[in-house]
């Protein structure tokens, strides 16, 4: 599994999805800060960060601005993306929207050809301020792995009450979003006929601009999940194509 990121800026990371991407970790380096506890999380299980929150230093918007300015002035190229990702769910940062504004300001000044992006688990989209800030980013990549509440509860294991129907409604209300879905087999997996059918109904409601389909790659904490083959993921892609929804298998 991956170690937690140590600073605010990490990488660049090279990936098929985002090319050369400079990562932004706005959640500190002490522990994973996430509203989910996905069975496949590359950072391992989510700890009791809610009880430790007084001891967790989350960087101020100006600290993020300074760190990004410094890194962009050190490198001699413009990365394809500047991406909010890192040690958990970035939208949990209480000053997320201010940080988005600062990051866009720095990008415009020092790396105007870079796009801004986020990998989010969608848990906070019900908050108006978060949704508005997300819409300012160039690539808004939002997680949707579950079609029904049961799978959502054992696969993503939300740490607080989050309603899958509300997430679906809020995502449907957003513009130009990309859905990312990670499928797994196994007793704790989401690759069942029932879940796929219900997930597909939600995707049709959301009408994303693109769907990213993938399965396990790096290490993961649960022993009751397994990898879905590329052939099986291609079948999902065909299903989406019939509804004129663009997608790719990674
Ligand atoms: S939402 Fe992302 S960071 Fe959080 S537990 Fe799931 S995979 Fe890990």
Atom of ligand 1 nearest to the CA of 121: 1
CB 192 within 8 A of CB 160: no
**Domain CATH number, residue 156:** 3.20.20.70
Residues 6+ apart with CB under 8 A from 94: 58
* 183: in domain: yes
Domain count of the fold of the chain: 1
Q: What is the mean pLDDT of residues 51-67?
A: 90
Atom of ligand 1 nearest to the CA of 182: 7
Q: Report whether residue 41 contacts ligand 1, using a CB cutoff of 6 Å.
A: yes
- In the structure encoding, which two tokens stand for residue 186, read together? 């196994």
The pLDDT of residue 217 is 87
* 2: in domain: no
Tell me the whole-structure pTM to 2 decimals: 0.96
Q: Report whether residue 36 contacts ligand 1, using a CB cutoff of 6 Å.
A: yes
* 1: in domain: no
High-pLDDT (> 70) share of the chain, %? 100
Sign of the alpha-carbon dihedral angle for 13, 216, 176, 24: negative
Determine the distance separating the centroid of ligand 1 and the alpha carbon of 89, expressed in angstroms. Answer: 7
| CA R_g for the chain | 18
Give pLDDT tens digits for 136-173: 999 999 999 999 999 999 999 999 899 999 999 999 99
Alpha-carbon torsion, ordered 58, 94, 45, 157, to 10 deg = 180
Give the residue, out of 43, 83, 86, 216, with the most ligand 1 atoms within 8 A of its beta carbon, to mutate for a pocket test: 43
Give pLDDT tens digits for 120-134: 999 999 999 999 999
Q: Report whether residue 38 contacts ligand 1, using a CB cutoff of 6 Å.
A: yes
* Residue with CA at minimum distance from ligand 1 atom 8: 41
* 3: in domain: no
* 203: in domain: yes
* 116: in domain: yes
The pLDDT of residue 53 is 73
Range of the domain at 70: 9-249
* 29: in domain: yes
CB atoms within 10 A of CB 135: 13
């Amino acid at each position: 599994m991956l170690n937690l990121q140590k600073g605010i800026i990490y990488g660049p990371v090279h990936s098929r999805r985002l090319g050369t991407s400079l990562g932004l970790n706005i959640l500190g380096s002490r522990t994973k800060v996430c509203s989910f506890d996905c069975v496949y999380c590359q950072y391992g299980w989510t700890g009791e960060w809610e009880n430790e929150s007084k001891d967790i230093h989350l960087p101020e918007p100006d600290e993020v601005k300074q760190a990004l300015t410094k890194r962009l002035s050190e490198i001699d190229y413009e990365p394809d993306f500047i991406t909010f990702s890192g040690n958990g769910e970035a939208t949990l940062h209480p000053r997320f929207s201010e940080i988005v504004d600062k990051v866009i300001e720095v990008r415009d000044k020092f790396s105007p050809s870079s796009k801004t992006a986020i990998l989010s688990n969608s848990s906070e989209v019900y908050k108006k301020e978060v949704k508005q800030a997300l819409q300012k980013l160039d690539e808004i990549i939002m997680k949707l792995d579950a079609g029904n509440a049961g799978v959502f509860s054992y696969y993503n294991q939300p740490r607080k009450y989050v309603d899958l129907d509300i997430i679906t409604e809020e995502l449907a209300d957003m513009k130009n979003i990309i859905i990312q879905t990670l499928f797994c087999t196994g007793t704790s997996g989401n690759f069942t006929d029932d879940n796929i059918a219900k997930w597909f109904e939600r995707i049709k409601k959301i009408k994303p601009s693109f769907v990213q389909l993938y399965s396990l790659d790096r290490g993961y904490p649960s022993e009751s999940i397994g990898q879905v083959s590329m052939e099986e993921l291609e079948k999902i892609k065909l299903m989406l194509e019939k509804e004129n929804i663009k997608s790719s298998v990674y």
